[in-house]
Structures are given as C-alpha cells and as structure tokens.
Amino acid sequence: MPGDAVLREDLRAYLDGLLDAASFRDYCPNGLQVEGCERVQRIVCGVTASQALIEAAIERGADTLLVHHGWFWKAEDGRVTGFRRQRMARLLAHDINLFAYHLPLDAHATLGNNAQLAARLGWTVSGRFGEQDIGFVGVPPAPTPVGELARQIERALGRAPLLIGDPGRKVARIAWCSGGAQGYFEAALAAAADVFISGEISEQTVHLARETGMAYIAAGHHATERYGAMALGAHLAEKFGIDCEFVDIDNPV
C-alpha cells in the first residue's frame, strides 16, 4: 500500500533549508539534480548515484533517489554520453528524482556524516575545524590507545582501517572528517588533535603523519559516508510519513 506523499518542490525546499545548502561552496550542485515525478512517496537513499543504486531504486519502485555523491562535478566532462547517458536515461525513463547533498551532508550537526560517525563511536563533539567548518573535533569516552581506537572503528564500520602511527599512542582529542579529507591533515594538527580520522589517505600524508607524530586512521571513503544519507532518510520518513530505504552498494574504497 502506498504511504503518504510529499510534493517534490516541498521536499526540495525542506532539504535545502534543513541542510543549509546555499551556504556552502562546493564541487557540485546541491539539491535537486534531476527532476522526476511531482509526488514523492518512496525514497531510496545511498552514498553514490551509481548505476547499481539506480537499478536498486527501480527494483523497489522508488520515485526518488537521495544521495551524498551525485553528478555534475566541477572539471568533469559535462557531455551526457556513455555511462552518464546510461545513468540518466534510466532515471528519466522511470521518472525518478535525484537529490544530492555533498558538503552540506558532511557538515550537518546531527544528521551529517561526521556527526553520525561520532554517534556510532561514542565520541563527544567539542568543536569544528577546517575550511567551512566541515571537520569535527571531539573526545572519546576515555583516553584510548590509537590501536584500540582503530579496532573500535573496524567493529563499528565493518572494515579494517589503515593506521599510520604508534598504536600505543594515547588519544584524548580526535579530529575527523569523512570521505576524501586527507587535505585537512594540517588543519587537524593545528586543532591539537592526537589523531586524524578520515576516509582516505594520500602518499604524502603518510610522511606528514610520521614527521609530526599525529596518528592517521584512514577508515574508508564509502565506509565513513554511509550514515548521513541513512540518518537523513530516517528523518524524512518520520517527518513526512513516506517510505525511505537505505541501500548500501558495497565499495571497498
């Protein structure tokens, strides 16, 4: 049986306001990226608007996709050919809306990727750092060796992280930013953190971690960014009474 419905434009206005989308300088447009049907009743949420997620939405009879990684990135080839055409053709053929929120979904104080990561690991948020305050700073429940912190992350995310640094180093202050935020390492260092946790790590970041003594945990881009879309979908289901399902398309990166 169909549940309640919300008008696409009302959903757009609500999400843009909730996530303060207009205030971010981002690498892609945030909000409604592809226009589909007017009434929204069933949303599939996920990390990336890949072909696999689109097919999962079609199989479930969804009229809307809500993701963290959408389309139309800066410096990307804008021609709708090849895989881009295939993806868009499937959305348009099934009249499916595509909503995408990148940095706004990283940064949100309760529903965002960074806030949700802290909630799952029991960290208390005490501040922000980095460009546009995307990065979070906080404390674990008690000072913890960084090796044990890495094991806690593995249990929570279901993926073994890469640890650079002394496993015995005690961590009293954590800086973290989900996804590909290795460029925030120096900002995390300036925030006086004992460890920086992100999704990815670059070759040069390994040397910075070794030379500065601040540990680095790379916990997986996809693994650290599942929970914002999941939380946002649950929030929309409660607010509007619509059906929202998170579909996890496995990604080892």
pLDDT at 48: 98
**Do residues 117 and 162 both lie within one domain?**
yes
Q: How many folded domains does the chain comprise?
A: 2
**Do residues 233 and 198 both lie within one domain?**
no
Q: Please, which residues have CB within 8 angstroms of residue 144's CB and are 6 or more apart in sequence?
A: 152, 170, 171
**Do residues 139 and 159 both lie within one domain?**
yes
pLDDT at 3: 66
H/E segment holding residue 232: helix 227-240
Residue 252 is assigned to a structural domain of this protein: no
Token pair recorded at residue 179:
């996804």
Which CATH number does the domain housing residue 77 bear?
A: 3.40.1390.30
**Do residues 191 and 154 both lie within one domain?**
yes
Residue 213 is assigned to a structural domain of this protein: yes
Measured from the Cβ of residue 251, the count of other Cβ atoms closer than 10 Å reads: 16
Q: Please, which residues have CB within 8 angstroms of residue 77's CB and are 6 or more apart in sequence?
A: none
Residue 32 is assigned to a structural domain of this protein: yes
**Do residues 233 and 220 both lie within one domain?**
no
Residue 196 is assigned to a structural domain of this protein: yes
pLDDT at 6: 98
Global pTM exceeds 0.85: yes
**Do residues 118 and 212 both lie within one domain?**
yes
In order, the DSSP letters of 80-128 are --HHHHHHHHHHHHTT-EEEE-SHHHHH-TTTSHHHHHHHHHTPEEEEE
**Residues of the chain predicted below pLDDT 70:** 1-3
Instruction: Give tens-digit pLDDT for 70-102.
Output: 999 999 999 999 999 999 999 999 999 999 999
Domain that holds residue 38: 6-106+225-246
Q: Which residues of 161-180 are buried (b: 16+ CB within 10 A; e: fewer)?
A: bebbbeeebebebbbbbbbb
Token pair recorded at residue 241:
């009474």
Query: Using an 8 Å Cβ cutoff, are 5 and 41 in contact?
Result: yes
**Do residues 18 and 52 both lie within one domain?**
yes
Q: Please, which residues have CB within 8 angstroms of residue 86's CB and are 6 or more apart in sequence?
A: 51
**Do residues 27 and 72 both lie within one domain?**
yes
**Do residues 146 and 232 both lie within one domain?**
no
**Do residues 229 and 167 both lie within one domain?**
no
3-state SS class at 187: helix
pLDDT at 1: 39
**Do residues 34 and 83 both lie within one domain?**
yes
**Do residues 31 and 48 both lie within one domain?**
yes
Residue 240 is assigned to a structural domain of this protein: yes
Residue 1 is assigned to a structural domain of this protein: no
